[in-house]
A and B are shown apart, each in its own frame.
Chain A
């Protein structure tokens, strides 16, 4: 089955700096790659997603890049703010039903 690896497990940055989280996947048939943000005590919420026919997608301070050949995708957050502090999960999905999640990255943005 699909195996999604996510790094780093924890990340601490200063406010205003950029943060990058990387994920790799094993199933070359995966074609949908969402990123979820989960604040402490709250539900995971989708922040951005990308499909395999696109190499990059941007939404304000958040961007995701996908390298299908290398089977990896990354989340980039620019101009980080304290409210960006949360756990971020990547996931990969093929034509089946399952979203296969990475273990999460705990991001801390310090003022």
Chain B
């Protein structure tokens, strides 16, 4: 698959579980993003990585832990989540971080916390 891919597409986890979301971009971009999309709320930026360095962290609880081992891969490690963390988690990438380049989104991971 080309573009931005995410796995898994659906995830159900208990509050005591630990899981990870994976994102991979095949576009040669150097910036990657995690967004949270909840019903009736705007897309919320969680983290930004530019050239594998975290450059933005929007007051996200520590139960979400990002990792960017290289410019093509981005992970979101999850532990002791709360039911209100249930949402669609979208990964995106762009050619440049702080310039006006199009962000390409992945299909998302639908997360349900029970």
Across the interface, do B31 and A97 meet the contact criterion of CB distance under 8 Å? yes
| B50 on the A face (CB < 8 A) | yes
Write out, one digit per residue, whether chain B residues 92-114 have a CB within 8 A of any chain A CB (1) or not (0): 00000110101111111000000
| B69 on the A face (CB < 8 A) | no
Separation in Å of the B1 CB from the closest CB of chain A?
Answer: 12
Across the interface, do B105 and A43 meet the contact criterion of CB distance under 8 Å? yes
Quick one: which of A42, A89, A93, A101 contacts B107, CB cutoff 8 A? A42
Most chain B beta-carbon neighbours within 10 Å: one of A32, A93, A99: A99
Residues of A with C-beta under 8 A to B33: 97
Residues of B with C-beta under 8 A to A31: 100
| A69 on the B face (CB < 8 A) | no
How many pairs of A and B residues are in contact by the CB < 8 Å rule?
55
Bound form: Cα–Cα A97–B106 in Å: 18
Which residues of A, 15-73, contact B by the 8 Å Cβ criterion?
31-32, 34, 36, 42-46, 49, 51
- Nearest-CB residue, chain A, relative to B50: A97
| A76 on the B face (CB < 8 A) | no
- Nearest-CB residue, chain B, relative to A93: B100
A interface, size bucket: 20 to 34
Across the interface, do A44 and B48 meet the contact criterion of CB distance under 8 Å? no
- Nearest-CB residue, chain B, relative to A5: B42
Quick one: which of A49, A89, A95 contacts B43, CB cutoff 8 A? A89
Across the interface, do A43 and B102 meet the contact criterion of CB distance under 8 Å? no
| A96 on the B face (CB < 8 A) | yes
Residues of A with C-beta under 8 A to B4: 43
Residues of B with C-beta under 8 A to A101: 42-43
| A4 on the B face (CB < 8 A) | yes
Across the interface, do A43 and B90 meet the contact criterion of CB distance under 8 Å? yes
Query: What residues of chain A have their CB less than 8 Å away from a CB belonging to chain B?
Result: 4, 31-32, 34, 36, 42-46, 49, 51, 89, 91, 93, 95-104
- Sampled A-B contacts (12; CB under 8 Å): A31-B100, A43-B90, A43-B106, A44-B43, A45-B105, A97-B31, A97-B33, A97-B45, A97-B97, A99-B103, A100-B42, A100-B45
